[in-house]
Structure 1
């Protein structure tokens, strides 16, 4: 039937095998449109440990939500923290909170009930917001590096350069870049025809979804690599330049106490930057030949659960001003009682 219908429209192939491939491709593309939902494989390969994983991930998630909520609340209510540095920190904490809401609740649900489907539209939405917020976080960390550079290398003009208007513009710029890049990546992926339904992951990440297509995805992989390189290597380069200038300025400070104070203001940010960009680089810039299901799951847990938890932990334990603000908040609450 395929041969009869197409013989009037398409020149006859030179060989029988070529004709068979043409018919197979015709039937394949016809069937691909039937995929309307996906099923997550998740942690099914660790079936005997799923209850333990659920408890551990739930505890980590609650700590992440509580930590980020405390940071945002303390920064909002304590006037001593109404500075550009803490404005960006509260923005990052808010972004990380929404970022975890996109993936972790469904992951926890998948640990309690197997084979929960997600619609094509739901998968598209989840990937879009995950990618947009991940890229937003990358550029927010870059902006925070720029803030530290201005504060240490050009302190006399700090309040002018980092005015509230500029801070809002930088934060909006980071979010706009995330939205634009996410639009490019998600559009390039979900215009593909799919012939598989099982995602070997616990959320709709880029590479696992690409594997569901039965046609050649080389162009899509190139697009993903280019976008990933831009949103990882460009911010890393800018942060590196900022810290080269920061360190050279700190080393010129004659006072030992002054050098320690300057390094202390950068330590928390630098710790988060190393972990955040390190995980992102390993996950999205590694060679395709090094893919493995267990390694991908471990990396995904790191950048969806551990990294968002790291931010409030590092900034609350290593940052003296945040700890002082917490003490003041607790003290005011005790006095009011």
Structure 2
């Protein structure tokens, strides 16, 4: 009798393990390339955290930078640091772990998927607000101070984060409700698609909402940014003050560069995933969205914004003198 009870208990434990513990494919790195891959990822992650959080600290502690544009930079930098932290530390921990031994708990996978999608949605929302900020500053400068007040910046920023949170919560909520018949996450990190592929149920609702939310986010982002900067360009080229127009276009160029980099990093894995010969490359490219924009954004902002360049230079000069 006791033997039968122990056997049943063992079966139940194995079922629990199968249900709650998932196999993670991760990055496919050969043993010889493990150390270089680890060092490179670690250096990139350290740079992302130091540059983005350093930019936030500089803006928060420097009263002259308490302006809408720089406060929006803080939003982007915080989001970039968050997005990189959601993905890179897990990749680092898996580099020296053999693929068959890479496991992740289901709730940890859901949290990582939530963080990665939340980072993506917030990136689009914040860049839309930054485009609106530049539009008001260039096309309606006399009303800029009355429109882009501190309260307005806080409201727009909070709206961006809340909207991203709600849309991603619904997205993952529809996935978590599904029963699972598989255990393998065939991706370098967890995302919504890799999670609902674990189920054998009807995924029509998941596909409809996932595609619909992606169309709304990308459509509104592309449409608003394109329209905004098109009107800014028309305004600048028709202006008689060429010096002011050149400065305005230079400022907008940095924002457009950040936006284009983000789009390329997000569309590249989608294109590669749909070509079987590039499938493995698409899995690696999916990491780029959480690595390339967070690493390049603070460089682009720092090089193109004169005020930031001066403040960063003064910080280094002061530390050197001390």
Would the aligned equivalents of 1:33 and 1:193 in 2 still touch at CA under 8 Å?
Answer: no
1:251 aligns with 2:237: yes
Which of 40, 43, 51 aligns to 1:56? It is 40
Would the aligned equivalents of 2:179 and 2:200 in 1 still touch at CA under 8 Å?
Answer: yes
Which of 142, 163, 166 aligns to 1:180? It is 166
Partner of 1:86: 70
Measured at CA, do residues 288 and 32 of structure 1 come closer, stay the same or move farther in structure 2, by a change above 3 Å? farther
Distance 1:279 1:216 in 2: 30
Would the aligned equivalents of 2:79 and 2:123 in 1 still touch at CA under 8 Å?
Answer: yes
Taking structure 1 as the reference length, the TM-score comes to: 0.84
1:234-313 aligned within 5 A: 234-283=220-269, 289-290=274-275, 292-313=278-299
Would the aligned equivalents of 1:133 and 1:175 in 2 still touch at CA under 8 Å?
Answer: no
1:72-151 aligned within 5 A: 72-114=56-98, 115-151=101-137
1:67 aligns with 2:51: yes
Partner of 2:207: 221
Please report how far the alpha carbon of residue 162 of structure 1 lies from its aligned counterpart in structure 2 after TM superposition: 0.2
Partner of 2:5: none
Distance 1:130 1:34 in 2: 25
The root-mean-square deviation of aligned C-alpha atoms, in Å, is 2.1
Partner of 2:193: 207
Please report how far the alpha carbon of residue 50 of structure 1 lies from its aligned counterpart in structure 2 after TM superposition: 2.5
Distance 1:65 1:270 in 2: 23
Taking structure 2 as the reference length, the TM-score comes to: 0.88
Larger Rg: 1
Q: Which structure 2 segments of 5+ residues have no match?
A: 1-14
Would the aligned equivalents of 1:136 and 1:174 in 2 still touch at CA under 8 Å?
Answer: yes
Distance 1:52 1:44 in 2: 13
Would the aligned equivalents of 1:232 and 1:280 in 2 still touch at CA under 8 Å?
Answer: no
Would the aligned equivalents of 1:199 and 1:209 in 2 still touch at CA under 8 Å?
Answer: yes
Please report how far the alpha carbon of residue 208 of structure 1 lies from its aligned counterpart in structure 2 after TM superposition: 2.2
**What per-residue deviation string (whole Å, max 9, x for no partner) do you get for residues 15-62 of structure 1?**
xxxxxxxxxxxxxxxx89952121211123645422221111111111
Distance 1:298 1:333 in 2: 39
Q: How many pairs are equivalent?
A: 305
- Secondary structure at 1:254 match in 2: coil
Q: Which structure 1 segments of 5+ residues have no match?
A: 1-30
